[in-house]
Amino acid sequence: MKLLFILAFCLPTLSFAQSIKYALKMPKPQNHYFEVEMELRDFKASELTVKMPVWAPGSYLVREFSRHVNYVKAVDENNKELKVTKTAKNEWKIAKGKSKKVKVNYDVYAFELSVRTSFLDLSHGFVSGSSVFFYVDGFKQLSGTLDVHPYSSFKTITTPLTKSAESVQGDGAVERFTFTNYDELVDSPIEIGNHELFYFQSGGTHHQVALYGLANYDMEQLKVDMEKITAAATDVFGQNPCKEYTFIIHNVINGQGGLEHANACVLSVNRWTYSPAEYNGFLSLVAHEYFHLWNVKRIRPIELGPFNYDEENYTTLLWVMEGFTSYYDELLMVRAGYYSKEDYLRKLQGTINYVEGSTGARVQSVAHASFDAWIKAYRPNENSGNTTMTYYSRGAMLASLLDAMIIDKFDAQKCLDHFMRYLYDEFYVKKKRGFTELEFQEALETFMGQDMDQFFNDHVYGTKIPDFKSVFSKVAVNVVYTGKPAASFGASVAQEGGKTIVKSIRSGSAAEEAGISVGDELIACNGIRVDQNTFDNFISSLVAGEYIELIVAREEIVLNLQTKMTTYERPGFRFETMTPSNEKFYYWLRSLH
Ligand SMILES: [Zn+2]
pLDDT at 129 over 80: yes
Peptide bond between residue 27 and the one before it cis (omega within 30 degrees of 0): no
Query: CATH 3.30.2010.30 residue ranges in the chain?
Result: 195-275
User: Does position 166 have pLDDT exceeding 90, yes or no?
Assistant: no
Predicted local distance difference test score (pLDDT) of residue 172: 61
CA 43, 48, 52 angle in degrees (round to 5)?
Answer: 120
Q: Do the Cβ atoms of 127 and 73 come closer than 8 Å? A: no
Mean pLDDT of 131-157: 97
CA of 257 to the centre of ligand 1 (A): 9
Q: Indicate the SS3 state at residue 135.
A: strand
pTM given for the model: 0.95
Tens digit of each residue's pLDDT (9 = 90 or more) over 265-312: 999 999 999 999 999 999 999 999 999 999 999 999 999 999 999 999
260 Cα to the center of ligand 1, angstroms: 7
CB 473 within 8 A of CB 326: no
> Could you tell me the distance, in angstroms and rounded to a whole number, from the CA of residue 304 to the centre of ligand 1?
14
Q: Is the pLDDT of residue 13 over 50?
A: no
C-alpha 181: how far from its chain's center? 23
Output the CA 91–ligand 1 centroid distance in Å.
30
Strand partners, 24: 36, 148
| Cα 552 to ligand 1 centre (Å) | 41
Q: Which residues of 174-187 are buried (b: 16+ CB within 10 A; e: fewer)?
A: bbbbbbebbbbbbb
Of 249, 254, 258, 315, nearest to 289 by C-alpha is: 258
Q: What is the DSSP string of 518-583?
A: TTPEEEEETTEE--HHHHHHHHHT--TT-EEEEEEEETTEEEEEEEE-EEEE---EEEEES-TT-H
Ligand 1 center–CA 318 separation, angstroms: 9
Query: How far, in Å, is the centroid of ligand 1 from the Cα of 32?
Result: 28
Distance 259 CA to ligand 1 centre (A): 7
* Distance, CA of 189 to CA of 159 (rounded, Å): 6
| CA separation for the pair 364, 361 (Å, rounded) | 6
CATH 2.60.40.3650 placement within the chain = 14-187
Match domain 14-187 to its CATH number in 2.60.40.3650, 1.10.600.10, 3.30.365.10, 3.40.309.10. Answer: 2.60.40.3650
Query: Ligand 1 centroid vs 256 CA: distance in angstroms?
Result: 12
Question: How many angstroms is it from 299 CA to the middle of ligand 1?
Answer: 13
Q: Of 3.40.50.720, 1.10.8.350, 3.40.50.300, 2.30.42.10, which CATH number belongs to 485-569?
A: 2.30.42.10
- Write down the CATH number for the domain with range 195-275: 3.30.2010.30
Per-residue model confidence as pLDDT tens digits over 396-446? 999 999 999 999 999 999 999 999 999 999 999 999 999 999 999 999 999
pLDDT digits (tens, 9 = 90+) for 28-80: 999 999 999 999 999 999 999 999 999 999 999 999 999 999 999 999 999 99
**Burial of 18 by CB count in 10 Å (0-12 exposed, 13-18 middle, 19+ buried)?**
middle
Find the 567 Cα to ligand 1 centroid distance in Å.
Answer: 37
Ligand 1 centre distance from Cα of residue 379 (Å): 17
Number of H helices, E strands in the chain: 17, 30
Nearest to 68 by CA among 98, 34, 108: 108
Domain with CATH 2.30.42.10 in the chain: 485-569
CATH topology of domain 294-475+588-593: Neutral Protease; domain 2 (1.10.390)
Query: Tens digits of per-residue pLDDT, 535-570?
Result: 999 999 999 999 999 999 999 999 999 999 999 999
Nearest to 185 by CA among 209, 218, 159: 159
